[in-house]
Amino acid sequence: MTIVVQKLALGGDGLSVMVKDTIDIAGWPTRASSRALADAPAAVEHARVVKALLDRGCRILGKTSLHELAYGTTGINEWQGTADNPRYPGRIPGGSSSGSAAAVAAGLADFSLGTDTGGSVRIPAACCGVFGLKPTLGRISRAGVMPTHSSLDCVGPFAGNMNVLIEAMKIIDPSFISLPDTENITLGVVPVHAGSEVQAAVDQALKTSGFALQTMQLPGMEAAYDAGLVVINRETWNACGHLLETGLVGQDIAGRLLSAKDTTDQALEAAEQVRLQFTAEVDAALEHCQILAMPTMPDYPLRVSDAADTRAAIGMTAFVRPFNLSGHPALNIPLVGASGLPVGLQLIAAKGADELLCAVARELVGRLENLQQSV
């Protein structure tokens, strides 16, 4: 299984970590799992988030594979190889941070780092059955992270449980403070169109969590989903379009880049208007309830054999990409559906309320575990 692309042994004797290969580690090339970057020079200095890991005594064990150039949702990579899904063999690991999610699912590290531009932490977390957090936009430094410029991308951690995920946030974000109380929290349940078993698993978890529930409509989600792709396409073309000249970019990514080239200024301007409108819509919803809840993915992860067409699988991000556009923190909680396959419960909080988001997630998971033990 192609999870680790560069084996390392850096740092102290603290928590062990794997790092997505879009994040610079001094002395090692950043290749983003692309043959077009196979001869990239070694990074000169650590990304700021890597320096934070080392300053806190973490042990960096390796760099992880990904969907080429972090521009896909399935994790399939013909050149470097697709990371196996350790807990759900034969199913896609999700993208783009496939190796980082798989590393945690396989027990190769205490936690890992990925990046999330349109769901690239939450989708692989859901596919591989682990926890994954996209922090508030701008909360974690992206200095030394590829691409250099993004108005959507966030560095975020994966972990096998909420306690480690919270510890990871404390390590990479010095401003992450003590978690608040979760009393009197209301979850705003957002109606979406998901597969019946996915929706049933999410509904059951929310119903038995003990939190007050309130239906909360977000009518702008579809427009935000479309607008988010416009922004992703323009920014990815600006960052990676020149690599097409090498002739070494994978066919699926090359096709997407060529399409992205045609993103017009008018389309981008319209997308930015949607960003403002949807951000205000989510902010307003979060004034009525402190946390929003919905599935992370519309359905179970595809089989690898059915996921060759990246564009056909892009709908996987229907429930996650809107919150990259708005910038709100969002987290995946792993569940299991009736067919024994992975389901993700996504929670969303107000900007800057990452601590509350993690506190509610930890409390919700603890209540579910206590109920299971008492049965």
Are 351 and 210 contacting, i.e. CB atoms less than 8 angstroms apart? no
CA gap 328, 334 in Å, rounded: 20
CA gap 298, 7 in Å, rounded: 35
Using DSSP's 3-state secondary structure scheme, residue 244 falls into: helix
- The pair of structure tokens assigned to 334 is 């792993």
CB atoms within 10 A of CB 51: 18
Residue 264 makes CB contacts below 8 A (sequence gap 6+) with: none
| Spatial CA neighbour of 69 closest among 242, 326, 228 | 242
| Spatial CA neighbour of 337 closest among 162, 203, 182 | 203
Describe the strand order of the beta sheet including 186-189 as a list of residue ranges: 4-11, 59-64, 16-20, 111-116, 154-159, 131-134, 330-336, 342-349, 291-295, 186-189, 212-215
Residues paired with 156 in a beta bridge? 114
Are 218 and 190 contacting, i.e. CB atoms less than 8 angstroms apart? yes
| Spatial CA neighbour of 8 closest among 105, 109, 83, 98 | 109
What are the catalytic residues?
20, 96, 120
CA gap 312, 276 in Å, rounded: 28
In degrees and rounded to multiples of 5, residue 33 shows phi and psi of 50, 40
CA gap 133, 157 in Å, rounded: 6
Concatenate the DSSP letters of all residues of 320-370 into one string.
Answer: THHHHHH---EEEEEEE-TTS-EEEEEEEE-TT-HHHHHHHHHHHHHHHHH
